[in-house]
Amino acid sequence: MTSVVLPTSPGFVSMTHRLITTRTENRPAIGSSESRFARMGSRYAFDFETEPLTPEEAMDWSIIETEAGTCVVTIPQIDFDTGAPGAPLVNGAGQSGTSLILDGLTPRYVIRRGQWLNITTGGLIYLYRAASEAVADGSGNVTVTLQTLLRAPHGNNDVVELGEPKIEGFVTLPDDAWSISGTERFYRLAFSIKERA
pLDDT digits (tens, 9 = 90+) for 83-93: 999 999 999 99
Residues of the chain with CATH 3.30.200: 1-75+165-197
Q: Write down the pLDDT at residue 196.
A: 87
Q: How does residue 37 score in pLDDT terms, banded at 50, 70 and 90? A: low
Q: How does residue 28 score in pLDDT terms, banded at 50, 70 and 90? A: confident
pLDDT one-digit tens code per residue, 60-105: 999 999 888 899 999 999 899 999 999 999 999 999 999 999 999 9
CATH (one of 3.30.200, 1.10.287, 3.30.310, 1.20.1440) for 1-75+165-197: 3.30.200
Residue 32 reports pLDDT greater than 90 = no
pLDDT one-digit tens code per residue, 170-190: 999 999 899 887 677 888 899
- The predicted model gives 8-21 an average pLDDT of 93
Domain 80-163 falls in which CATH fold? Elongation Factor Tu (Ef-tu); domain 3 (2.40.30)
Q: Write down the pLDDT at residue 84.
A: 97
| Nearest residue to 156 via CA among 197, 125, 129, 119 | 119
Higher pLDDT, residue 181 or 129: 129
Mean pLDDT rounded to a whole number for the chain:
92
Percent of the chain with pLDDT over 90: 77
What is d(CA 183, CA 84) in angstroms, rounded to the nearest whole number? Answer: 44
- The predicted model gives 118-122 an average pLDDT of 96
Neighbours of 167 (CB within 10 A): 24
Residues of the chain with CATH 2.40.30.290: 80-163
Q: How does residue 21 score in pLDDT terms, banded at 50, 70 and 90? A: confident
How remote is the C-alpha of 187 from its chain's centroid?
26
Q: Write down the pLDDT at residue 136.
A: 98
- Looking at the chain, list the stretches that DSSP marks H as alpha helix, in order from N- to C-terminal side: 55-61
Percent of the chain with pLDDT over 70: 95
Rg (CA), the chain: 19
| Nearest residue to 120 via CA among 72, 67, 65, 86 | 72
Give the angle 3-9-10 at the CA atoms, nearest 5°.
125
